[in-house]
Amino acid sequence: MNEQVRTEAELLGAMSGEIGRLLPWNQSECWVRIFHGVAVAAPPDLAAKCAWVAEAVRRSMPLSPGAERVSRQVSPQEAQSMGLTGHRLSYVAVVTLHCLIYEIEQELGADHHAVRPIQWYRGGVRRRAARITTQEDVWSNN
Protein backbone atom coordinates (compact mmCIF):
# COMPACT_ATOMS: atom_id res chain seq x y z
CA MET A 1 0.00 0.00 0.00
CA ASN A 2 1.37 3.39 -1.00
CA GLU A 3 0.03 5.71 1.73
CA GLN A 4 1.33 9.22 1.88
CA VAL A 5 1.56 10.97 5.24
CA ARG A 6 0.69 14.64 4.93
CA THR A 7 1.50 17.41 7.36
CA GLU A 8 -1.15 19.67 8.85
CA ALA A 9 0.10 22.53 6.68
CA GLU A 10 -0.26 20.41 3.53
CA LEU A 11 -3.79 19.36 4.51
CA LEU A 12 -4.82 22.93 5.32
CA GLY A 13 -3.29 24.17 2.08
CA ALA A 14 -5.10 21.56 -0.01
CA MET A 15 -8.39 22.26 1.79
CA SER A 16 -7.97 26.03 1.31
CA GLY A 17 -7.26 25.58 -2.39
CA GLU A 18 -10.37 23.44 -2.86
CA ILE A 19 -12.56 25.93 -1.00
CA GLY A 20 -11.26 28.76 -3.18
CA ARG A 21 -11.45 26.89 -6.50
CA LEU A 22 -14.38 24.47 -6.19
CA LEU A 23 -17.01 26.32 -4.18
CA PRO A 24 -19.19 29.09 -5.60
CA TRP A 25 -17.59 32.50 -5.12
CA ASN A 26 -20.02 33.63 -2.39
CA GLN A 27 -19.34 30.51 -0.32
CA SER A 28 -15.58 30.84 -0.70
CA GLU A 29 -15.85 34.46 0.40
CA CYS A 30 -17.93 33.43 3.45
CA TRP A 31 -15.22 30.97 4.51
CA VAL A 32 -12.59 33.70 4.12
CA ARG A 33 -14.68 35.99 6.32
CA ILE A 34 -15.29 33.23 8.91
CA PHE A 35 -11.60 32.36 9.19
CA HIS A 36 -10.63 36.03 9.23
CA GLY A 37 -13.09 36.66 12.08
CA VAL A 38 -11.66 33.78 14.07
CA ALA A 39 -8.11 34.99 13.40
CA VAL A 40 -8.95 38.39 14.85
CA ALA A 41 -10.46 36.88 18.02
CA ALA A 42 -8.41 33.74 18.68
CA PRO A 43 -5.26 33.13 20.74
CA PRO A 44 -2.00 33.52 18.75
CA ASP A 45 -1.47 29.92 17.53
CA LEU A 46 -5.03 29.45 16.30
CA ALA A 47 -5.15 33.03 15.01
CA ALA A 48 -2.07 32.44 12.87
CA LYS A 49 -3.51 29.21 11.45
CA CYS A 50 -6.89 30.79 10.63
CA ALA A 51 -5.29 33.91 9.12
CA TRP A 52 -3.13 31.67 6.92
CA VAL A 53 -6.17 29.61 5.82
CA ALA A 54 -8.22 32.76 5.10
CA GLU A 55 -5.41 34.19 2.96
CA ALA A 56 -4.84 30.85 1.18
CA VAL A 57 -8.53 30.58 0.30
CA ARG A 58 -8.60 34.23 -0.82
CA ARG A 59 -5.56 33.76 -3.08
CA SER A 60 -6.95 30.61 -4.68
CA MET A 61 -10.23 32.31 -5.63
CA PRO A 62 -10.57 33.42 -9.27
CA LEU A 63 -11.54 36.91 -8.06
CA SER A 64 -10.19 37.77 -4.61
CA PRO A 65 -12.38 39.80 -2.24
CA GLY A 66 -10.90 43.06 -0.98
CA ALA A 67 -10.02 43.86 2.62
CA GLU A 68 -13.31 45.70 3.17
CA ARG A 69 -15.36 42.64 2.17
CA VAL A 70 -13.18 40.23 4.16
CA SER A 71 -13.75 42.15 7.40
CA ARG A 72 -17.57 42.14 7.06
CA GLN A 73 -19.61 39.98 9.43
CA VAL A 74 -21.15 36.78 8.04
CA SER A 75 -24.94 36.85 8.30
CA PRO A 76 -26.94 33.87 9.58
CA GLN A 77 -28.57 33.50 6.16
CA GLU A 78 -25.22 33.34 4.35
CA ALA A 79 -23.80 30.74 6.73
CA GLN A 80 -26.95 28.58 6.77
CA SER A 81 -27.21 28.63 2.98
CA MET A 82 -23.64 27.25 2.74
CA GLY A 83 -24.74 24.27 4.81
CA LEU A 84 -28.00 23.82 2.90
CA THR A 85 -26.45 23.71 -0.56
CA GLY A 86 -23.71 21.16 0.07
CA HIS A 87 -20.33 21.35 -1.61
CA ARG A 88 -17.96 19.63 -4.00
CA LEU A 89 -14.93 19.26 -1.75
CA SER A 90 -12.94 16.04 -1.52
CA TYR A 91 -13.38 13.78 1.47
CA VAL A 92 -9.95 14.77 2.83
CA ALA A 93 -10.78 18.49 2.51
CA VAL A 94 -14.13 18.02 4.29
CA VAL A 95 -12.51 16.14 7.16
CA THR A 96 -9.74 18.77 7.40
CA LEU A 97 -12.33 21.58 7.41
CA HIS A 98 -14.40 19.96 10.12
CA CYS A 99 -11.32 19.21 12.25
CA LEU A 100 -10.35 22.88 12.03
CA ILE A 101 -13.90 23.94 12.90
CA TYR A 102 -13.85 21.60 15.90
CA GLU A 103 -10.52 23.04 17.03
CA ILE A 104 -11.93 26.57 16.75
CA GLU A 105 -15.01 25.65 18.78
CA GLN A 106 -12.93 23.94 21.46
CA GLU A 107 -10.48 26.83 21.72
CA LEU A 108 -12.97 29.72 21.71
CA GLY A 109 -16.07 28.07 23.18
CA ALA A 110 -19.52 27.65 21.67
CA ASP A 111 -20.77 31.02 22.91
CA HIS A 112 -17.96 33.09 21.35
CA HIS A 113 -19.10 35.61 18.72
CA ALA A 114 -16.53 34.36 16.17
CA VAL A 115 -18.02 30.84 16.42
CA ARG A 116 -21.61 31.88 15.60
CA PRO A 117 -21.18 31.70 11.80
CA ILE A 118 -19.85 28.15 12.20
CA GLN A 119 -22.90 27.24 14.27
CA TRP A 120 -25.20 28.77 11.63
CA TYR A 121 -23.37 26.77 8.94
CA ARG A 122 -23.83 23.57 10.95
CA GLY A 123 -27.52 24.40 11.37
CA GLY A 124 -27.81 24.49 7.58
CA VAL A 125 -25.99 21.16 7.31
CA ARG A 126 -28.43 19.61 9.82
CA ARG A 127 -31.45 20.99 7.91
CA ARG A 128 -30.04 19.61 4.65
CA ALA A 129 -29.48 16.19 6.25
CA ALA A 130 -33.04 16.22 7.61
CA ARG A 131 -34.39 17.00 4.13
CA ILE A 132 -32.38 14.19 2.56
CA THR A 133 -33.49 11.74 5.26
CA THR A 134 -37.13 12.75 4.81
CA GLN A 135 -36.86 12.30 1.03
CA GLU A 136 -35.32 8.85 1.51
CA ASP A 137 -38.17 7.89 3.86
CA VAL A 138 -40.72 9.00 1.24
CA TRP A 139 -38.93 7.10 -1.54
CA SER A 140 -38.68 3.91 0.54
CA ASN A 141 -42.47 3.92 1.14
CA ASN A 142 -43.27 3.88 -2.59
Reported confidence tier of residue 3, pLDDT bands at 50, 70, 90: low
The residue extents of the domains of the chain are: 8-140
C-alpha torsion sign, points 121, 124, 130, 134: negative
What is the mean predicted confidence (pLDDT) over 8-36?
94
pTM of the predicted model as reported, rounded to 2 decimal places? 0.86
Report pLDDT for 67: 82
Burial profile 17-56: b = 16 or more Cβ within 10 angstroms, e = fewer: bbbbeebeeebbbbbbbbbbbbbebbeeebeebbbbbbbb
Across 40-54, 58-72, 82-96, the highest mean pLDDT is recorded for: 40-54
Q: What is the mean pLDDT of the chain?
A: 89
